[in-house]
């Protein structure tokens, strides 16, 4: 399983760098290239630290394309100064995405402001921000990708909790400006997710497809408890098939936040991701 032929089944696989947070950007570029990957997903903080132009060259020279940049968003503040700062920061994120050559900026839209119970108002402020940023992004070849986050993040990270909500927001704007992210970790429990994927496909809104598994018990704060592919409750193959049926033939990005993976050798983690991807995501042989 190590010849070039065997590698062809990795054509769509993208490794989000948070999965191997222990790797520096050069280690990531080298490690992914060595493992036969063609794509990576990047995060703003490590890219800024390394230098955006330098990071773009680094991954390009390693033969990798950037499938998405995480993340813009946090649009729900109510005060004008905070809102203006969020818009400025998102314009910078769009510029960085364009420099990295990715067409997808993933958005974590923001939770409820402190003391607020107004979910509807917060969602409306997201729409206002999308209206501001959509044209700016599209002019630079970047699409804003609304990521519905699991409902357990609704108060503190993202008031967009379902794919239907994300599409309700996205569809208020042109498809080349605003799309949605299908992340199995956030959507696996929802019996309307399949219908949402179909709807996203029909409207040309399926901007990114990300994988992580759902494992319990959840850790305190519930942020760093994502499971390695195959370790949990998610029918990953079903999601791959359904997104394909909806027309998505682009990258499949693996994004797992888990300190147990970060404590291991990065190359070993990537090899495991690849093996699990073959076993649980690709068609059964």
Binding site for its own copies (CB under 8 A): 112, 116-120, 123, 150-152, 154-156, 159, 161-162, 165, 188-191, 214, 216-222, 232-235
Q: Max Cα separation, the chain?
A: 57
H or E segment and range at residue 163: helix 163-170
- CB closer to its own copies, 9 vs 118: 118
The answer to whether the beta carbons of residues 38 and 67 sit under 8 Å apart is no
Q: How far is the CB of 105 from its own copies (least distance, A)?
A: 24
Q: Of 236, 209, 210, 212, whose CA–CA distance to 226 is shortest?
A: 212
Total Cβ atoms within 10 A of residue 228: 20
- Contact criterion met (CB below 8 Å) for 254 and 212: yes
**Residue 278 CB, nearest distance to its own copies (Å)?**
17
With respect to its own copies, which residue has the nearer C-beta, 214 or 277? 214
- Where b means 16+ CB within 10 Å and e means fewer, 53-92 reads eebbebbeebebebbbbbbbbbbbbeeeeebeebbeebbe
SS3 45: helix
CB of 65 to its own copies, least distance (A): 31
Judged by CB, which is closer to its own copies: 40, or 256?
256
Instruction: Compute the least distance from the CB of residue 154 to its own copies, in Å.
Output: 4
Q: Which is nearer to its own copies, 96 or 213 (CB)?
A: 213
- Closest to its own copies by CB, 30 vs 156, is 156
Nearer to its own copies, 138 or 170 (CB): 170
d(CA 66, CA 55): 10
* Minimum CB distance to its own copies, residue 203 (Å): 19
Long-range contacts of 212-220 (CB under 8 A, 24+ apart): 212/183, 212/184, 212/185, 212/254, 212/255, 212/256, 212/257, 213/184, 213/185, 213/256, 214/184, 214/185, 214/188, 214/189, 218/152
Alpha carbons 74 and 141: distance in angstroms, whole number: 21
- The answer to whether the peptide bond before residue 71 is cis (omega within 30 degrees of 0) is yes
In the complex, the smallest distance separating the C-beta of residue 119 from its own copies, rounded to whole angstroms, is 7
Backbone angles phi, psi at 165, to 5 degrees: -65, -45
Closest approach of its own copies to the CB of residue 223, in Å: 9
Indicate the residue among 111 and 251 with the shorter CB distance to its own copies. Answer: 111
> Cβ closer to its own copies: 100 or 166?
166
Shortest distance, position 164 Cβ to its own copies, whole Å: 8
């Amino acid at each position: 399983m190590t010849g070039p032929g065997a590698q062809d089944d990795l054509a769509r696989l993208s490794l989000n760098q948070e999965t191997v947070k222990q790797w520096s950007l050069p280690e990531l570029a080298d490690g992914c290239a060595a493992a036969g990957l063609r794509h990576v997903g990047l995060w703003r903080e490590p890219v800024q630290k390394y230098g955006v132009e330098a990071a773009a060259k680094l991954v390009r020279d390693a033969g990798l394309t950037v499938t998405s940049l995480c993340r813009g968003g946090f649009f729900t503040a109510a005060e004008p100064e905070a809102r203006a700062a969020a818009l400025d920061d998102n314009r910078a994120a769009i510029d960085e995405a364009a420099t990295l050559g990715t067409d997808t900026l993933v958005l974590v839209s923001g939770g409820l402001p402190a003391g607020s119970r107004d979910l509807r108002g917060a969602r409306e402020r997201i729409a206002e921000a999308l209206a501001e940023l959509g044209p700016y992004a599209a002019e630079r070849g970047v699409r804003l990708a609304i990521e519905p986050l699991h409902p357990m993040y609704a108060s503190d990270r993202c008031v967009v909790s379902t794919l239907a909500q994300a599409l309700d927001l996205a569809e208020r704007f042109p498809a080349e400006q605003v799309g949605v992210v299908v992340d199995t970790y956030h959507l696996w429990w929802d019996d309307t997710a399949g219908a949402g994927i179909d709807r996203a496909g029909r409207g040309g809104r399926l901007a990114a497809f990300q994988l992580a598994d759902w494992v319990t018990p959840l850790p305190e704060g519930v942020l760093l408890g994502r499971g390695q592919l195959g370790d949990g409750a998610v029918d990953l193959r079903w999601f791959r098939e359904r997104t394909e049926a909806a027309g998505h033939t682009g990258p499949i990005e693996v994004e797992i936040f888990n300190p147990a993976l970060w404590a291991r050798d990065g190359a070993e983690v990537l090899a495991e991701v690849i093996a699990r991807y073959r076993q649980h995501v690709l068609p059964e042989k």
